[in-house]
Structure 1
Amino acid sequence: MVPVMTRGDFVVVENSLFEFDPESVSVGDIIVYSAHWTNAGENKIINQDLSINGRNLNYYELNSRESMIYNLPIISSYSPTTPVIHRVIDTWTDSEGNKYYITKGDNNPTYDPELIRAEQVRQRVVELNDEPFIIPYLGHISIILKENLIIFVILLVIWMYYDYRKEKVAKNN
């Protein structure tokens, strides 16, 4: 999502479980969703062309676990997912009335290779004056703790042991 946000930015979001209805997401919203395509890897086999709202789109047909409706990958719910934060660029409704979101990263040349169902939407980015509410660099704290968790735990144990020994020496004196 560069240049809007970069790795290490803290992004304020509202939760889809209790703060907003995922069906209310509109074009232009930035959402966090459970993406199956990030785990597809070598399973990308065939490109599928599709026209939605007068625009030609090109979707990947994934492996046989997924069902295909109108040549669009409708990914099964048991597939592993990864959270992805991208902007909704369009919507599509199939003949059965199911609504799907077409998403794309702001700095990506093309859209994501999966149609997003409302159930996949986890969060929506909060906007302040029509701009995403982002606190630059604050997310680095979380990244450092996650990437260096073992070092953090070791330092915490050493500090607790030091504090324990200090109290024990103070009691003996």
Structure 2
Amino acid sequence: MSRPAVVSVIGLKNSGKTRLVRQMLSLWTAQGLSVGVVKHDGHAVREETAAWQKHGSDTQLFAEAGAAYTLLAGGGQSLLYNANSGETEDINKLLAALQQASAAGSRPLDAVIVEGFKHSLLPKIAVIRTADQVNWLKHDKPPLLEAVVMSESVMHLAHDTWRVYHEGDTNLLCRRFLTPDGGE
């Protein structure tokens, strides 16, 4: 089983991470690729995991009653809820679980986009739209930062070592992360 290409999209709240992830997903799936997503919720609290369920739903009731796993299925789709997933901060274990699940399905993954996990050892794309976000990135220095997607208004603030993409350059950015030579 070959490993899918993996990239982490990072940035502060309201920087445009989800928008970029959606654009990348649309481009790659239009090319016929199978793409998975891991979304880190830095605000989730174990005691409030039932909040991820629809309030009053059967799946919420099952989780509250102690179900270790709940698999919601219908309409050709399924959603697996693991109440005891203690590995939620270990991105490598999460990626392995996602890859295993996709291999057991009809089609293995070609790529995985991770939203978050800014301190992981994954290649990263930072999304920056304001001067405060530029300052955050310069101060935080996340490991393996391979690209920075910036709005036109702050491009002049970019660090000279950053590989900068305009927020409209999603095609070029996507090629960078799927080809061995970085799309060049």
TM-score, L = length of structure 1: 0.28
Higher strand share: 1
The structure whose Rg is larger is 1
Higher helix share: 2
TM-score, L = length of structure 2: 0.27
